[in-house]
Amino acid sequence: MKKQTFNLLFYICALLCMASCDTATNNSQPTPNGLTETEEDSLAPIPSASTILNASSSTTNVDATNTQPITLEIDGFIHPTEWVPGQTATITFNQFPTSATAFRQVLEKYGNKPEVAVLLQLMAFEIYNHNKEEGLSCIEMINVENNVDNVVRILKDRYNPAYGEYYTPQLVATFLKGTSPENAYKADKPFTIQVRSHKANKYQDSNTLKGVVLYLEVYSSGYDTHWRGISVVKSKGSSIYKVVNSPALYTQCQPVSFKIEEEYTDIWHQ
């Protein structure tokens, strides 16, 4: 009798254990990838290739190309108040800014010279070529208010591949020493531009802008008329020069010569 009672109790315990195991199994059903929900929750999700690429592009600032501070060396002098026809200044610099923050640093450090306003306008163009939002901020910094829309309206076409022959990513490169349509606008290093006071247009006082407007020119290899006009002003109370007008800097320039196989290489990667 005792043996039968023992066997009965053993059988009941076995049934209770089996029921408990079934309950645990039902609470950890396999997922489509073959893991139970508990196992799956313990693993970190594996990002897709597109997620990795997007994260990389969003966290890698274009300023990573700027390994050192941007420095300028100016040979020559453009007089800020007395017009000297053809007076020339050559600006040599180590790299282009690639963000509005880097651009502002150059502006604050060197923007009190009229010839540097010319360079800053070109730098703003190139940033706009890569990043419309950052570039717009730079254009607003270096241009008088009523000239901003004039610049942006044209640059939208110049830097839009959909506009065919009007698409000219080499625009700014044409102003750099050593470039030409025959060498795919490959610039000498360090980068150099040449600025001079206009040989015919005298400086003019402007009550509207509250300052003296300087008429300058910058050399470009991308046009039949190499010297391209630009006017700048330092308004009363301001410490920097701003661009008043510069349509000659963003008219359509010559493409890379059809006689060579080489394609244009972006300035930031030259």
Q: In the prediction, which pLDDT does 104 show? A: 98
Asked whether residue 28 falls in the same domain as residue 128, the answer is: no
Q: Which amino acid is it at 46?
A: I
What is the per-residue pLDDT across 104-115, written as a single tens digit (0 to 9) for each?
999 999 999 999
Give the max Cα distance, the chain.
128
Give the range of the structural domain holding residue 24, as residue numbers without chain letter.
Answer: 2-46
Q: In the prediction, which pLDDT does 50 show? A: 33
- C-alpha 63/C-alpha 78 separation (Å) is 31
Q: What is the mean pLDDT of residues 52-61?
A: 32
Average pLDDT across the chain, whole number: 83
CB 222 within 8 A of CB 238: no
Q: In the prediction, which pLDDT does 68 show? A: 82
Asked whether residue 118 falls in the same domain as residue 242, the answer is: yes
- C-alpha 192/C-alpha 175 separation (Å) is 8
Asked whether residue 113 falls in the same domain as residue 184, the answer is: yes
Return the H-helix or E-strand segment holding 228. strand 227-233
What is the per-residue pLDDT across 155-186, written as a single tens digit (0 to 9) for each?
999 999 999 888 999 999 999 999 999 999 99
Asked whether residue 13 falls in the same domain as residue 117, the answer is: no
Asked whether residue 40 falls in the same domain as residue 169, the answer is: no
Asked whether residue 143 falls in the same domain as residue 14, the answer is: no
The DSSP code for 111 is T
Specify if 56 maps to a domain. Answer: no
Asked whether residue 121 falls in the same domain as residue 227, the answer is: yes
Asked whether residue 142 falls in the same domain as residue 189, the answer is: yes
CB 245 within 8 A of CB 264: no
